[in-house]
Amino acid sequence: MLDPTFAAAHPIAGSAAPAGALSALSDGLEAFDAFLWGPWLLIPLLLGTGVVLTIRLRGLQVRKLGPALRFAFLQRDGGGEDASAEGDISHYQALTTALAATVGVGNIVGVATAIHLGGPGALFWMWVTALFGMASKYAEAFLAVRFRTVDARGRQSGGPQYYLMRAVPGVAGKALSIFFACAAILASFGIGSMTQSNAVAAQLHNSFGWDGAVVGIALAIAVGAVLLGGIEAIGTVTSAFVPMMIVFYVGGCFYILAANASGIPAALGLVLGGAFTGHGALGGFAGSTFLMAVQFGAARGIFSNESGMGSAAIAAAAARTNHPTRQGLVSMTQTFIDTIVVVTCTGLVILTTGTWTGSDPATMTGDAFTHGLPGEWGHYIVSVSIVFLAASTILGWAYYGDRCAERLVGVHGVLPFRLIFTCVVFLGAVTELKDVWTFADIANGLMAIPNLIGLLVLSGLIARETASYLEQDPHLRRRGDDFDSLPQTAADDCAN
């Protein structure tokens, strides 16, 4: 996901501030965004939901992480037993589609922002949110498969926009479903489209002098071509593209950490010590308190891996699987990869090279790579990584918006959405975004609220059916057709 700090530091067009009513609107959006993502609403709600689910699932994310990683990466399609199950793409393709949307520029700039404002201890709180967020990611992916449906064209549709409607009783469930779908479409145009193409155009312009319009046209054509193929094409692209992208970036991190291996113990000491005392680059109250370390670490961790926000569940619903527990366990590895692997690598690179004391978080990671790698390699790796990460996020969010449009207006709304989305990709590359960043951040946060309510209401159902499955297949090795199936409906079994 893309961090708003990047846009402020890499504008394409002029940055004249709006006046009058526009200025008041801008101030209002910023105030609402600060409240939404502040310490009194989304952060405690997201973290608290993860804690509740961790307790009810008895630490599933720790107990079953090993089997989940093996099943996701070494036992493709469940070793063949799920190949004939309902679904449009494999477990692995569903995972990489979700990773494409979440492993983004926020993993580069967002980590630096958290450390800059909250100190090295913020990285510790990013780990904490990831640990509990894995339970939330499991739960929403479980529900997505559990209550998915088939659209008029025979494709799987699922996610909060469906399981809130089908599992939460009464008008409340339908209202939460519609609210989520509307917020997700808005977010797909903001965080998922305009801001990402803007980041790509800005990076290529600043690094190589490329014109934003040319970049926008190229991006729009590429995205449009993939979208025409639907989730199958997206899954095929992301399954090949995302691993290469992560290995490319993480490989650069490993080289720098190997070269600065003597500084790793000291960096970890800063993280663990700063987690409870606080020490930020800004100094003073703004960056030196324990509260700031917790707030910025938790906020950026959640913003990076999207656990509890419901977006990744949309991709999980398309997976070929015979039981929702299987895809839930695969999906929770997404948070592990995003935060425990990629974010940790970025944070340690920033700390071991000493660039975390700089004044501009938008350039910290780039400076760290420039200092840590020989010649111009650091500059190119960060530039290419930002382009690839942002471009992959566009594809993931295109599918999220596609499925939410189908939920609201049916399959006839899918093609118009894809055409509009493709046009918005171009507009983002050539337009100064100004308040679009803030609006996109708000839409992203609004998605989480109905989803978190649903996760809490349905936590009993998730825990019971998960325990039932794991009693039959604790190591995820049984064939997909030789365990007890779930009932077709469970609306009357969703309380507690």
Give the Cα separation of 316 and 311 in Å (integer): 9
Q: Where are the alpha helices (DSSP H) in 373-431?
A: 377-409, 414-430
The amino acid occupying position 51 is: V
Give the Cα separation of 380 and 274 in Å (integer): 32
Predicted local confidence at residue 484, as pLDDT:
53
Q: Cβ neighbours of residue 294 under 8 Å, at least 6 residues apart?
A: 39, 118, 125
Lowest-pLDDT range, 148-157, 198-207, 414-423? 198-207
When pLDDT is averaged across residues 55-78 and rounded to a whole number, the result is: 86
Backbone phi and psi for residue 61, each to the nearest 5 degrees, phi listed first: -65, -25
Predicted local confidence at residue 482, as pLDDT:
52
What DSSP letter does each residue of 8-52 carry, written as one string?
HHS-SS--PPP-THHHHHHHHHHHHHHHHTSTTTHHHHHHHHHHH
Give the Cα separation of 264 and 65 in Å (integer): 25
Q: Which of 169, 129, 168 is nearest to 42 (CA)?
A: 129
Give the Cα separation of 444 and 311 in Å (integer): 9
When pLDDT is averaged across residues 261-271 and rounded to a whole number, the result is: 94
Over pLDDT 70: what percentage of the chain? Answer: 85
pLDDT exceeds 60 at position 494: no
What DSSP letter does each residue of 259-312 carry, written as one string?
HTGGGHHHHHHHHHHHHHH---TT-HHHHHSHHHHHHHHHHHHHHHH-TTSSHH
Give the Cα separation of 122 and 101 in Å (integer): 23
Predicted local confidence at residue 83, as pLDDT:
56
Give the Cα separation of 34 and 345 in Å (integer): 28
Give the Cα separation of 353 and 341 in Å (integer): 18
CA quadruple 275, 278, 279, 282: dihedral sign: positive
When pLDDT is averaged across residues 250-261 and rounded to a whole number, the result is: 93
CA quadruple 332, 334, 335, 341: dihedral sign: positive
Scored b (16 or more CB within 10 A) or e, 248-281 reads ebbebbebbbeebeeeeeebbebbeebbeebbbb
For residues 389 and 265, which has the higher predicted lDDT (pLDDT)? Answer: 265
- How many CB atoms sit inside 10 A of residue 491's CB? 15
The whole-model pTM stands at 0.87
pLDDT-derived band of residue 485, with 50, 70 and 90 as boundaries?
Answer: low
Q: Measured between alpha carbons, how far apart are the two ends of the chain, in Å?
A: 33
Predicted local confidence at residue 486, as pLDDT:
53
Lowest-pLDDT range, 43-57, 177-191, 366-380, 459-473? 366-380
When pLDDT is averaged across residues 293-306 and rounded to a whole number, the result is: 75
Mean pLDDT of the chain: 83
For residues 141 and 224, which has the higher predicted lDDT (pLDDT)? Answer: 141
- How many CB atoms sit inside 10 A of residue 65's CB? 17
Lowest-pLDDT range, 70-84, 245-259, 262-276, 326-340? 70-84
Predicted local confidence at residue 107, as pLDDT:
78
Check: CB of residue 289 under 8 Å from CB of residue 141. Answer: no
Predicted local confidence at residue 81, as pLDDT:
47
For residues 98 and 139, which has the higher predicted lDDT (pLDDT)? Answer: 139
pLDDT-derived band of residue 42, with 50, 70 and 90 as boundaries?
Answer: confident
Predicted local confidence at residue 72, as pLDDT:
85
169-199: pLDDT as tens digits? 899 999 999 999 999 999 999 888 888 888 8
Helix-helix angle 344-353:361-372, to 10 degrees: 70
Angle (CA) 189-241-133 rounded to 5° is: 65
Q: Cβ neighbours of residue 461 under 8 Å, at least 6 residues apart?
A: 167, 490, 493, 494
Find the radius of gyration of the CA atoms of the chain: 21
When pLDDT is averaged across residues 433-455 and rounded to a whole number, the result is: 85
The two three-digit tokens of residue 378, written as one number:
């650091």
Predicted local confidence at residue 102, as pLDDT:
77
pLDDT-derived band of residue 456, with 50, 70 and 90 as boundaries?
Answer: very high
Give the Cα separation of 352 and 291 in Å (integer): 24
pLDDT-derived band of residue 480, with 50, 70 and 90 as boundaries?
Answer: low
Structural domains of the chain, with CATH? 35-78+85-472 (1.20.1740)
When pLDDT is averaged across residues 336-361 and rounded to a whole number, the result is: 90
pLDDT exceeds 70 at position 299: yes
pLDDT exceeds 50 at position 288: no
When pLDDT is averaged across residues 135-154 and rounded to a whole number, the result is: 93
Predicted local confidence at residue 489, as pLDDT:
45
When pLDDT is averaged across residues 86-99 and rounded to a whole number, the result is: 79
The amino acid occupying position 341 is: V
Q: Which of 152, 162, 319, 159 is nearest to 231 (CA)?
A: 319
Predicted local confidence at residue 216, as pLDDT:
92
When pLDDT is averaged across residues 253-269 and rounded to a whole number, the result is: 94
Check: CB of residue 195 under 8 Å from CB of residue 2. Answer: yes
383-421: pLDDT as tens digits? 788 788 888 889 889 989 999 999 999 989 999 999 999
CA distances from 273 to 64, 75, 279, 283, 330 (A): 30, 40, 9, 16, 33
For residues 112 and 64, which has the higher predicted lDDT (pLDDT)? Answer: 64
